[in-house]
Amino acid sequence: MSKALAAILFTVMLMFPVFSERVPANMLGQITQGETEFFLEIDGSTSTLYHNDVPVKTRSESVSGNNKTITETDLEKNEFVTSTYENSVLISRKTVYEDGSSVQLTYLYTEGSLLCTTRTDSEGNSNVEYYLRDPSDGSLIAVRRFENTELVGQSYLYAAENLYRNPGSSVITEGSFSVDDNGNISYERNGISYTYRQDGKILSEKEGGVTTGYVYEGDELISISVSEDQPPYEKTVTQYSEGKAVYVTKTRGEEIIETADFSGENGAMVKTVYSSGTAVAKIYYMQDNKRVLRVEYY
């Protein structure tokens, strides 16, 4: 470049200086209107958030082909967050803290849906969450979490945008899922079958020869039944009112063998014992339902 041209450019810059844009913002760095203690200074692909003229956060963006990297710095906490996108989809996010430790999240997709999230810290610990989806519509129905390649915790079912923890042991093997025409989710794991209502409330649980069924009126649980499908075919039905057990019936085959009534004063139990379907004794308990107050025989 000639000295004459350089002098001309310098003169032009003096005559037409480049100013960064300042706009009012909120504490999140979002552009807003009206009076505010925050403002955003935008200079090309970099923006700086000020609070009372003190810089508190910066954000810079770089683009290369279909990839985009956004780096955000919290100047108050001295934390850095770098997010990487590919074709506008987030594939990784790394946070570096003031003490030098870091956490990186990476995301893996399949056919446009999130398949798993991996969390790795600066000490080399790695957690992975896998997302299981209904093959019919791709909706999320379960999550599995691994810590350093070992399966931990419990699986979770998703229904009607709510999260429900699945009962069972902490050791999980691959399960099978299905959704019926009513939206109920059936799930089988380790030989145990569960069925959930569309809103996530459990309807049944079957393990071996024992089935537990749940009945609701709207959202309120009104009874739980536990039945055996092998001799002597015992069944226990507990009725609930406002979340409290009020009456229990135990049967063996077609015959009643015992009932328990909790609907009396202070919830004290009155148990009736049957023989060959006929009541033979009534046992009155104290308020703790452990100590017997008296026994009446028929």
* Residue of 126 and 189 predicted with greater confidence: 126
Cα 213 from Cα 225, distance rounded (Å): 5
pLDDT 10s digits, 44-81: 888 898 888 889 899 999 999 889 999 999 998 999 99
Q: What is the pLDDT of residue 6?
A: 40
Domain boundary among 46, 80, 100: 100
Q: What is the pLDDT of residue 289?
A: 83
Cα 251 from Cα 277, distance rounded (Å): 9
- R_g over Cα of the chain: 32
Confidence of residue 194 (pLDDT cuts 50, 70, 90): confident
Q: What is the pLDDT of residue 108?
A: 87
- Indicate if 224 and 263 belong to the same structural domain: yes
* pLDDT surpassing 50 at residue 114: yes
Q: What is the pLDDT of residue 159?
A: 45
- Indicate if 175 and 117 belong to the same structural domain: yes
- Indicate if 169 and 234 belong to the same structural domain: no
- Indicate if 150 and 170 belong to the same structural domain: yes
**Residue 2 domain-assigned (yes or no):** no
* pLDDT surpassing 50 at residue 82: yes
pLDDT 10s digits, 224-233: 999 999 899 9
pLDDT 10s digits, 237-267: 999 888 888 999 999 998 999 999 987 777 8
- Indicate if 175 and 218 belong to the same structural domain: no
User: Using CB atoms within 10 A of its CB, is residue 48 exposed (0-12), middle (13-18) or buried (19+)?
Assistant: buried
| Structural domain for 151, as ranges | 106-202
Q: Hey, what are 115's tokens?
A: 């398949």
Q: What is the pLDDT of residue 71?
A: 94
- Indicate if 198 and 243 belong to the same structural domain: no
* pLDDT surpassing 70 at residue 167: no
Residue 105 C-beta-side C-alpha neighbours within 13 Å: 12
Tell me the mean pLDDT in the region 108-119: 82
Q: What is the pLDDT of residue 164?
A: 46
E strands of 122-191, at which residues? Answer: 126-133, 140-147, 150-159, 162-165, 176-179, 185-189
Q: What is the pLDDT of residue 3?
A: 44
pLDDT 10s digits, 6-27: 444 334 333 434 446 777 766 6
pLDDT 10s digits, 207-218: 889 999 999 888
Q: What is the pLDDT of residue 151?
A: 53
- Indicate if 221 and 185 belong to the same structural domain: no
Domain boundary among 81, 100, 119: 100
- Indicate if 195 and 221 belong to the same structural domain: no
